[in-house]
Structure 1
Amino acid sequence: MRRVTHYYSLTPEWQNDFVKQLNTQLIDDKLIIVPDDIGTGYFYFSQVMDGISAVYADLTPKVPLKLTRQKSDNELFIFHFDLSEHINLIKINNIDYEIGSYNKLDLVILDNQIESSFKPTVNERVIALRLLIDKKLLQDFIQKFKRQEGAFDHTATNKKVFYHYGNIDSNSILLIRSLKNKAVTDLSFDSYIKGISLKVLGNFFNKFYDSEEQSAKLTEIENEFIEKTKEYLMNNLFGPFPSLVFLAGMAGMSASKYKSSFKKRFNNTPKNLFIEEKIKLAQELLKSGKFSTLSDVMYELNYTKLSYFCSKYQEVLNRKPTDDFVKKSSVK
């Protein structure tokens, strides 16, 4: 396994040692080419504005690779948006967390005071955008998160440091995906990635503060009931979607209030969330090698029309069921 240790700063100097360890070249203090003995692709660094920088990774490793980011005195938060179409690993506190656009978690936010490592999947394309942000710009955000003790850890000096895992909003997914279609050698690439970075960050905070405001309108008991209906949906993905009236009754609300409250709580409707999770389960089944046909998977999940199943799969995952289907091998 190739191991590289590095640190982050808002300015380009962090790249120098990174490049030496990779035994490659640094172009214009921005572009790091992945050497042939490791894989293909590149890392791109841009100083977006005062207090914000971006690191964009588009690479396909052909050998096991572990990139360890060491904690440093630089007062930063790292927002890692992972749009890889497979599972990568981020290690924090000796625990490996799965991350990737088709996993349940595709966003991680880390305090620079916590060391972490990134292990991309071999022979799979990695697409990730990391935004490095000066802590001075995020004081209000961190204050709002202090209510969530699970979002904090303690260093050896008993100092609280922040980390969080979650999901990327759909608009930001499209924005980051657009970077894949932009040539890094294009003269406009640097301006383009700066614009994308600010839009993605704006989307995150719009969603965060909107969710904070909406959640405050729900009572503790209402939130508890809403959580129970979500848990019910997640435990019954093999069946059909229960009616909105049924779920509302479970929550002790009218159908209109339930639908509105659910959306405020999870930024999604009950049916959309159910479909999205059902399709993610379908992907797992398709890859399992336990089914002989697509129809077998379709029937397992209580769908009756293959065309509808395929259209929903494409809509949720942006790929066809056949792209993930591992056919059951026949035993002679």
Structure 2
Amino acid sequence: MKKIFHYYSLTPEWQHDFVKQLNAEIIDNKIIIFPPEIAEGHSYFTQIMPNISVVFMNAVVKNEIKICRQPSDNDLYIFHFDLSEYTNLIKINNEDYKIGAYDKLELAIIDNQIESSFKPAINRRTIAIRILVHKKLLHDFIARNSLNENPKKKIYPGEEVFYHYGSTDSNSTLLIQSIKDMSIYDLYFESLLKGISLKLLGNFFSKFNDSDSDNNRLTHAENDSINKTKNYMLANLYGPFPSVIFLASMAGMSESKYKSAFKKCFNTTPNNFFIKEKMSLARELLRSGQYNSLTEVMYELSYSKLSYFTSKYFELFNHKPIDDLQKKSR
């Protein structure tokens, strides 16, 4: 397995040693074209503003590679958004985590002082956006908010550093979906990447600011009730949507209270959450090699109209379900 060692900075000089180790081509200090024996694809780096930069990776890795990021003196937090087709591995402080849309956990936030590595899946498309943010921009936010969704915190002598591992909201997923099939050579690609990166940060901050508001905070009992309905939906993806009336009753809430509470927890509606998870299951079934047609998968998931199933699948993944169908071997 080939190992690449690098560090991050807000300016493009970090790429130079990275390119040498990969024996790759770099264009305009922005675009890295991976050599074909390592991967088919590229990365794109640009500075959004003086204290924020972004790295976009879109590639199918051909052979095992481990990208090892070394700590540096640059005061950064790294927001890693991962919407890859399969599970990638990210190691933080010698602990392995699965990340990617396939695994339903698509976000890691890492202090630049903590060593980490990234191991993309072989022969699967890796889609990742890493937003590099100077710590001074986040000082007040970190002081006010506890990153309490699967949090990991470490204390080092003289200071506190943290990393966070969790899920993104549905709007952020759609934002990343909107750029993943664009050509990096389009004139407006860089502007779009910058805009999407700022929106991803905005969605993240909004999520935690909303949860920190006294008016929006849910009690532990309410959180438990909402999670109970979420788990029920995840356990019953082969059936139809159970209805808001049913879920609200399960949570012991009125319909309006339930919808509001669910939105606060997951930044989406119960129905949209169910559809997203159902389509993720559909993709697994299509790729399993256990079915001969889209119709079989559609009926397996209790859909009756192929046009509706196809439209929802395309809406989430930006390609048709037939593109993922691996027919049963005879």
TM-score range, shorter chain: 0.7 to 0.9
Do structure 1's residue 66 and structure 2's residue 101 form an aligned pair? no
Report how many aligned residue pairs link the two structures. Answer: 330
**9 and 297 in structure 1: CA distance in 2 versus 1, 3 angstrom threshold:** same
Separation in 1, partners of 2:297, 2:203: 36
Superposition map of 1:150-229 within 5 A? 150-154=150-154, 157=157, 160-180=160-180, 183-185=183-185, 189-213=189-213, 216-229=216-229
Partner of 1:283: 283
Q: How far does residue 156 in structure 1 lie from its aligned partner after superposition?
A: 6.5
Partner of 1:136: 136
Partner of 2:302, secondary structure, is coil
- Stretches of structure 2 that go unaligned for 5 or more consecutive residues are none
Give the TM-score taking structure 2 as reference length.
Answer: 0.86
**177 and 17 in structure 1: CA distance in 2 versus 1, 3 angstrom threshold:** same
Partner of 1:237, secondary structure, is coil
Give the TM-score taking structure 1 as reference length.
Answer: 0.86
Separation in 1, partners of 2:307, 2:178: 28
Partner of 2:239: 239
Partner of 1:313: 313
Q: How far does residue 236 in structure 1 lie from its aligned partner after superposition?
A: 1.9
Aligned-residue Cα RMSD (Å) equals 2.8
**284 and 16 in structure 1: CA distance in 2 versus 1, 3 angstrom threshold:** same
Separation in 2, partners of 1:190, 1:297: 38
Q: 1:42-65 CA distances to partner (integer Å, 9 max, x unpaired)?
A: 322222212111122233332222
Partner of 1:18, secondary structure, is helix
Partner of 1:113: 113
Separation in 2, partners of 1:218, 1:210: 11
- Stretches of structure 1 that go unaligned for 5 or more consecutive residues are none
Separation in 1, partners of 2:42, 2:208: 31
Separation in 2, partners of 1:91, 1:308: 39
Partner of 2:37: 37
Partner of 2:213, secondary structure, is helix
Contact 2:169–2:266 under 8 Å retained in 1: no
Superposition map of 1:316-327 within 5 A? 316-327=316-327
Q: 1:88-116 CA distances to partner (integer Å, 9 max, x unpaired)?
A: 22222444333234441222211112221
Separation in 1, partners of 2:193, 2:147: 33
**261 and 214 in structure 1: CA distance in 2 versus 1, 3 angstrom threshold:** farther
**174 and 304 in structure 1: CA distance in 2 versus 1, 3 angstrom threshold:** closer
- Amino acid corresponding to residue 66 of structure 2 in structure 1: K
**231 and 310 in structure 1: CA distance in 2 versus 1, 3 angstrom threshold:** same
- Amino acid corresponding to residue 85 of structure 1 in structure 2: E
**159 and 61 in structure 1: CA distance in 2 versus 1, 3 angstrom threshold:** same
Separation in 1, partners of 2:255, 2:9: 50
Partner of 1:83: 83
**50 and 37 in structure 1: CA distance in 2 versus 1, 3 angstrom threshold:** same
Contact 2:86–2:102 under 8 Å retained in 1: yes
Separation in 2, partners of 1:214, 1:308: 40
- Amino acid corresponding to residue 291 of structure 1 in structure 2: Y
Q: How far does residue 187 in structure 1 lie from its aligned partner after superposition?
A: 6.0
Separation in 2, partners of 1:251, 1:80: 33
Q: 1:283-324 CA distances to partner (integer Å, 9 max, x unpaired)?
A: 222222233443333333233333333333233333322222
Separation in 2, partners of 1:181, 1:149: 30
- Amino acid corresponding to residue 297 of structure 2 in structure 1: V
- Amino acid corresponding to residue 89 of structure 2 in structure 1: L
Contact 1:145–1:151 under 8 Å retained in 2: no
Partner of 2:240, secondary structure, is coil
**305 and 185 in structure 1: CA distance in 2 versus 1, 3 angstrom threshold:** closer
Separation in 2, partners of 1:171, 1:34: 30
Partner of 2:237, secondary structure, is coil
Partner of 1:233, secondary structure, is helix
Contact 1:7–1:70 under 8 Å retained in 2: yes
**51 and 125 in structure 1: CA distance in 2 versus 1, 3 angstrom threshold:** same
